Chain A
Amino acid sequence: MLPLLILSPLILLAALGAVWKARPVHAALLLALTLALIALLYLAIGAYFIGLVQFMVYVGAVAILIVFSLLITRPGDEAEEISRRPSSLLTGLICTVPVLAVLFISLIRANPPEPAASDAPSATLQQFGEKLFTTHAPVVITVGVLLTAVLIGAALFARGVQGISSSEPFESGKSLPP
């Protein structure tokens, strides 16, 4: 209970900062902080594998992706100005209020089971792995195929846009990748 009490306000504050801050870089870093704190919450309640994977995938890949795109595009003052306009607030409210309503209603209506008395996780890593690759194997394979297709598509797309390849001659007017 104590970790939840300490971490929840921090998570909420970081998330609020992530959506409220006008400067994109600050918002991105606060989003990374939110995700890291959620990982800490997972670790605190005993789901070690999920917590570490959350860290690796969300903080280490998703946040890095957002941050990297910020570095490349380098949004200037117009991004701050856009996010301060009232119309942006309206768009945000239209997107988030229905989602929040659904979550809230489902939380009220759900009947949570009695909390388990043991404090050790009920599934070891071995069982987790076995479950994932036997019962839920079709899902894993489908996701893998999708991701591979995305990767190949992205590589081909990048190649086609720049026009740089080892077989084509280099045109001096085109720009090189950074």
Chain B
Amino acid sequence: MNDSSMEPTTSINRLPAPPKSGRWIVPGLGLFQGLMVAGRNMFESYYKKERMTTIQYPEQRAPISPNFRNFPFLCYDKDPVAGLRCTACSICENECPPKCIYIVLDRDENGKSLKRPKVFDIDISVCMNCGICAEVCPFDSIYMDGEYELSNDDRFSGLLLGLDRLSKSAEYHMQLRPEEASEVMARRKADEEKKAAAQAAKEAKAKADKEAKEKAAAEAQAATEQKGESA
């Protein structure tokens, strides 16, 4: 029962172990120790941080952990419109369990898809914060946000967040979840570099092919000229 490994190791209040049963209980000692604990609490709360754990909301806010998730947000790279990563593929809309996402694809005048959403609405009174939309997105565009001050006095349209409320920058994502965001950014950068390297290799190969072809054509030209001269 008095196993020290099971006791919480808080250093603030260390009371002596209670006396074993059958021993003499010194009258009043426990009362005195309790009074001293309370007195220490009171005096040290003025200058010690661990004894004053109150956070004065709304002037101060409690720090939220990176694992906290609330409602989703859409990530953009540099420009909120052009840099929006979302391509309106509607995978998140189909996978959402309570069906809180509504997407309308943006098409140009010919009907060809522009690979970005015209309308992207999330009803946060329906959203159950499960995070499935963030798990299934192939374009690193939808993530779970940590904002909790979303109170509104309009039950219906006030809780329907559109593209303007949902688009947040990649720097915000980095600030919110540094590990995940840096992993995503590294991966995207590596992908881009690989793509650029593949592009460069392809261009180099095309250039080399072209040069080889020109060289072959030049050699063939030279060969035919030499043959014409010797005949």
Judged by CB atoms under 8 Å, the answer to whether A and B touch is no
Residues of A within 8 A of B (CB): none
Residues of B within 8 A of A (CB): none
